[in-house]
Amino acid sequence: MAAKDNSTEQHIKETAMRVFFKEGRFNATTQEIADAAGVNRTLLHYYFRTREILLDIVLKEGKSAFRTKLAETVDPALSFKEKISRLIDVWMEHILEFPYLDAYLVSQMSNTDFLESMKKEEKENSKKTEAFFEELQVEMNAGRIKKMDPTQFLLNFISMVSYPLVMRPLLEASMFKTKRAYNQALEHRKEAILAALFI
């Protein structure tokens, strides 16, 4: 293999992503990750040197991919409601793919570095948020949404989309009789959210 081939490196990252954020095994050891990837543990250190660096990279790339996806989703030509509708789709899809990502982020929030990088993101997104709020204001004036603080609308929106998926194992076990019942509820989730957000 003379030519640089990063497929194994990529494969390790994807495996780590799976173990951490799909399966929620936040304390997985380097050995477990290597096993899951079908690769020798030394190779992890060869490519990423430390477990922490690997986790950092995986997290950063995951977040970045999601941000890109979200941005691509919002077509300015669409109606506000249609925008929201598509956002719900993409957002739910993403959390379904990596259900433990948010829980991990929160659990790491006492870490100062994380907070810093988050605040940087906020600044980059603040323009989009303001634009969103303006559109929202128009909808409220048009009587298609109850008048309220835009912030509260945003919180309602994110909450209703994320929570049932992020806390899925908890809700499924503690409030529903069967997994099937929960899956059915999720299937109709989007309409329920839209109905709650719009008059």
Partner DNA sequence: CCTTTGTTTAACAAAATTGTCAAATATCAT
Partner DNA sequence: ATGATATTTGACAATTTTGTTAAACAAAGG
Site for a second copy, rule CB under 8 A: 23-27, 100, 102-107, 109-110, 114-115, 118-119, 121-122, 125-126, 129, 146, 148-149, 151-152, 154-156, 158-160, 162-164, 166-167, 169-171, 173-177, 181, 185, 188-189, 192-193, 195-197
Alpha-helix runs per DSSP H in 38-111: 41-48, 51-73, 80-97, 101-107
Neighbour-count burial for 121-130, b at 16+ CB within 10 Å, e otherwise: eeeeeeeeee
Closer to a second copy by CB, 8 or 125: give it. Answer: 125
Pick from 83, 100, 90: which is nearest to 65 by CA? 90
Using DSSP's 3-state secondary structure scheme, residue 37 falls into helix
Closer to DNA by CB, 38 or 169: give it. Answer: 38
Pick from 43, 39, 36: which is nearest to 19 by CA? 36
State in Å, rounded, how far the first CA of the chain is from the last one. Answer: 62
Contact call for residues 182 and 168 (beta carbons, < 8 A): yes
Q: Which entry of DNA, a second copy, none binds 77, CB below 5 to 8 A by partner kind?
A: none
- Pattern 36-75, binding to DNA, x per CB under 7 A? --xxxxxx-xx--xxxx-----------------------
State the minimum distance, in angstroms, from the CB of residue 183 to a second copy: 12
Question: Cα(159)–Cα(153) distance, rounded to whole angstroms?
Answer: 10
Q: Which entry of a second copy, DNA, none binds 3, CB below 5 to 8 A by partner kind?
A: DNA
Q: Which stretch binds DNA (CB under 7 A): 30-38, 72-80, 151-159, 169-177?
A: 30-38
Q: Is 110 in the site for DNA (CB under 7 A)?
A: no
Q: Is 159 in the site for DNA (CB under 7 A)?
A: no
How far is CA 23 from its chain centroid? 14
List residues binding DNA (CB under 7 A).
1-9, 29-31, 38-43, 45-46, 49-52
